Amino acid sequence: MSGYSTNMRIKLPLFCLLLEFITIILFAVFVRYDKETDAKEWHDEMRNHSVGNLDNDFYFRYPSFQDVHVMIFIGFGFLMTFLKRYGFSSVAFNFLIAAFALQWSTLIQGFFHGFHNGKIHVGIESMINADFCTGAVLISFGALLGKTSPVQLIIMTLIEVTLFGINEYIILNIVGAKDAGGSMTIHTFGAYFGLVVSRVLYRPDLEKSRQREGSVYHSDLFAMIGTIYLWMFWPSFNSAVTAHGDDQHRTVMNTYYSLAACTLATFAISALVNGEGKLDMVHIQNAALAGGVAVGTSAEMMLTPFGAMIAGTLAGMISTLGYKYLTPVLDSKLKIQDTCGVHNLHGMPGVLGAIIGAIVAFFATMDIYGEGMEDVFPLIQDGSRTAKTQSLYQFLALLVALGFAVIGGIFVGFLLKIPLFGMPSDAECFEDAIYWEVPGEEGHHQLTAVNSEDPDTQA
């Protein structure tokens, strides 16, 4: 791929400001405070329903929101800084597209989920859902990391957020599937969407940039900041929008056990598949997180702690094996260049998570859930579905997510080929210097200094 001009002087300001302007107009027309954020409505609510300020949902969702927020901006952002010469772009483009995605998804999700009397009402739950949608975009970004311009990323965000909203609406409201932690709506959709875009944008001469596609010692430590934050706060992610009470509590605990087991499995398989018994930071940074993805659908269900640990162990194994054996094949045989290995961290574990969700739903009984059935499976509770049909609908939802990912990814892939959006050439990938004023760097400048001396020295 020969690349188009990566000079961002006009196009980046143009798209950023234009989209921000359109967003502000749409917000002015459609977006209003919900009854928990509006001064007048909340005080009316308190008077009319004998509730107090401390009953505001803010106190019961905001800590979860902040954990999710940290995952989106620090977790995803730093996880991608592992590349030796792409740290600025990783953390800052992550920042840019997340900042746009959360505004845009407030509108899109609002049209589907919070539209009353012609207005979108926003509060802490819409903020969490906007961050969730942002997560899907950042997963897709992971597949494309280092090979796209920021304008391409913004265009992708615009379309992907829109498709995410439709897909999510179909899965949750029409299919009636459960997916609180987004194994299907976020991970499966985000990963396969990004992989398909990457396939369409296949770069036959990417070898020319391979020397920059690895890490250096400190960049791997920066990436571990992202990993550990994602790992620690994943329980908050999966539980952030589940029903209050036992549901949030249980979701947190299941995710915590799944991740702990996943970590041991990842270390085990990483050492096993390496010829010399050494561990690989790529596996630890990524596969240890697959346990969170794998219980994204089922963590709110009565999965049981040991069930969560089995899910996590499987996810860690599959994911590590994927990094070792599948990623190279995807690249060489299927022409899918997956920079961060999102297929191993989000794709396969997302599908696994959907399947586990369907299995656990299959075994739902009133004996196990009691009156809690209403929160987890309202359609089983009200008699409109049996556990078996719910299970089938869970599988159907997976197919919907995959379908949206593939078709949407093809569309966006071809859209991004429009030269106007800019794109680095195959020899310029994974390089901050094409987008950034890069400061002198000890090691880097040194390298130059030392190299430039070589002739003198040898002369």
Residue 453: both structure tokens together: 């001396």
Query: Does residue number 103 form part of the binding site for a copy of itself (CB under 8 A)?
Result: yes
We find the least distance from the C-beta atom of residue 443 to a copy of itself, in angstroms, to be 2
User: In this chain, which of 246, 331, 426, 428 binds a copy of itself, going by CB under 8 A?
Assistant: 246
We find the least distance from the C-beta atom of residue 367 to a copy of itself, in angstroms, to be 8
We find the least distance from the C-beta atom of residue 40 to a copy of itself, in angstroms, to be 3
Tell me how far CA of residue 67 lies from CA of 141, 308, 372, in angstroms: 21, 21, 26
Contact region with a copy of itself (CB under 8 A), list: 237-245, 355-363, 390-398, 402-410: 237-245
Query: Does residue number 379 form part of the binding site for a copy of itself (CB under 8 A)?
Result: no
We find the least distance from the C-beta atom of residue 342 to a copy of itself, in angstroms, to be 20
Query: Does residue number 363 form part of the binding site for a copy of itself (CB under 8 A)?
Result: no
Query: Does residue number 381 form part of the binding site for a copy of itself (CB under 8 A)?
Result: no
Backbone dihedral angles phi then psi of residue 116, each to the nearest 5 degrees: -130, 130
We find the least distance from the C-beta atom of residue 375 to a copy of itself, in angstroms, to be 7
Residues present in the chain in total: 459
Count of residues interacting with a copy of itself (CB under 8 A): 150
Residue 315 in contact with residue 293, Cβ under 8 Å? yes
Restricting to residues 418-437, name those near a copy of itself by CB under 8 A. Answer: 435-437
Query: Does residue number 60 form part of the binding site for a copy of itself (CB under 8 A)?
Result: yes
Backbone dihedral angles phi then psi of residue 298, each to the nearest 5 degrees: -95, -10
Angle, nearest 10°, between helix axes 305-321 and 246-273? Answer: 40
Q: Which is nearer to a copy of itself, 181 or 408 (CB)?
A: 181
Helices of type H across 73-178: 77-79, 87-113, 124-144, 150-169
We find the least distance from the C-beta atom of residue 291 to a copy of itself, in angstroms, to be 10
Residue 155 in contact with residue 15, Cβ under 8 Å? yes
Q: Which is nearer to a copy of itself, 85 or 199 (CB)?
A: 85
Tell me how far CA of residue 169 lies from CA of 166, 172, 377, in angstroms: 5, 5, 17
Contact region with a copy of itself (CB under 8 A), list: 86-94, 327-335, 385-393, 399-407: 86-94
Q: What value, to the nearest 5°, has the Cα angle with vertex 338 and ends 337 and 340?
A: 150
Query: Does residue number 456 form part of the binding site for a copy of itself (CB under 8 A)?
Result: yes
User: In this chain, which of 4, 95, 111, 202 binds a copy of itself, going by CB under 8 A?
Assistant: 95
User: In this chain, which of 118, 276, 333, 383 binds a copy of itself, going by CB under 8 A?
Assistant: 276
User: In this chain, which of 116, 208, 210, 218 binds a copy of itself, going by CB under 8 A?
Assistant: 218
Restricting to residues 1-40, name those near a copy of itself by CB under 8 A. Answer: 7-10, 12-13, 16-17, 19-20, 23-25, 27-28, 31-33, 36-40
Contact region with a copy of itself (CB under 8 A), list: 190-198, 209-217, 344-352, 385-393: 209-217
Q: Which is nearer to a copy of itself, 161 or 401 (CB)?
A: 161
User: In this chain, which of 159, 166, 281, 396 binds a copy of itself, going by CB under 8 A?
Assistant: 281
We find the least distance from the C-beta atom of residue 193 to a copy of itself, in angstroms, to be 22
Query: Does residue number 260 form part of the binding site for a copy of itself (CB under 8 A)?
Result: yes
Query: Does residue number 111 form part of the binding site for a copy of itself (CB under 8 A)?
Result: no
Helices of type H across 31-120: 39-49, 58-70, 77-79, 87-113
Query: Does residue number 259 form part of the binding site for a copy of itself (CB under 8 A)?
Result: yes
Question: Residue 135 and residue 331: Cα distance in Å, rounded?
Answer: 24
Q: What value, to the nearest 5°, has the Cα angle with vertex 288 and ends 283 and 291?
A: 140
Q: Going by DSSP bridges, is the β-strand pair 31-33/119-122 parallel, antiparallel, or unpaired?
A: parallel
Give 32-55 as a 3 state SS string: EECCCCCHHHHHHHHHHHCCCHHH
Residue 299 in contact with residue 255, Cβ under 8 Å? yes
> For 440, which DSSP code?
P
Q: Going by DSSP bridges, is the β-strand pair 115-116/31-33 parallel, antiparallel, or unpaired?
A: unpaired
Question: Residue 191 and residue 187: Cα distance in Å, rounded?
Answer: 6
Q: Which is nearer to a copy of itself, 129 or 198 (CB)?
A: 129
The Cβ-side half-sphere exposure at 64, using a 13 Å CA radius, reads 27
Restricting to residues 296-325, name those near a copy of itself by CB under 8 A. Answer: 302, 304-306, 309-310, 313
Question: Whole-angstrom distance between the N-terminal and C-terminal Cα of the chain?
Answer: 40
Query: Does residue number 209 form part of the binding site for a copy of itself (CB under 8 A)?
Result: no
Residue 410 in contact with residue 196, Cβ under 8 Å? yes
Q: Which is nearer to a copy of itself, 36 or 168 (CB)?
A: 36
Q: Which is nearer to a copy of itself, 333 or 457 (CB)?
A: 457
Q: Which of 426, 407, 404 is nearest to 415 (CA)?
A: 407
Restricting to residues 112-171, name those near a copy of itself by CB under 8 A. Answer: 122-124, 127, 150
Q: Which is nearer to a copy of itself, 305 or 328 (CB)?
A: 305
